[in-house]
Amino acid sequence: MHILVRILSAIDTVSKWSGYVIMFLVVVIAIFLSTETVARYIFNAPTLWATESTTIAFGLFALLSGAYVLFVGAFFAAHSGTVLWSLYVLGIVMLYRWELYLKEPSLGGRRRYLLWSSLLTGCQRSETS
């Protein structure tokens, strides 16, 4: 049991320090975007490397910051306004959103809806492929 605690402590230490190192990528991203903005709009000479470098740095930031986020016990959720709703209202909204996702043609939902309904029909008939 003592060995497991030491292993988990080492993992936590790596997560904490990797988070501290990854935090500096935000500064790198800001420098890249500032350089591109100044070069494009002041000198009228856009760079070829700034956009791609910013994309790569942000991808690294998003992937590598996950361990630190879990270490500090934080999470990201898009429940900004829905926290105040009751469970009944939240359930109705989520059900409607699911139906919209399945059927909305602009999201490719018509194909998903047809696939979903054909799968349900096949399951009801106990068909196998």
The DSSP result for 72-119, as a single string, is HT------TTGGGS-HHHHHHHHHHHHHHHHH-GGGTHHHHHHHHHHH
pLDDT tens profile 1-24: 789 889 989 988 988 888 888 888
**Same domain membership, residue 66 and residue 8:** yes
Does a structural domain hold residue 23?
yes
Does a structural domain hold residue 77?
no
Q: Determine the average pLDDT of the residues in 20-37.
A: 90
Whether residue 51 is predicted with pLDDT greater than 80 in this model: the reply is: yes
Count of structural domains within the chain: 2
Task: For residues 109 and 122, give the distance between their C-alpha atoms in angstroms, rounded to a whole number.
Answer: 19
Does a structural domain hold residue 129?
no
Domain around 18: 2-72
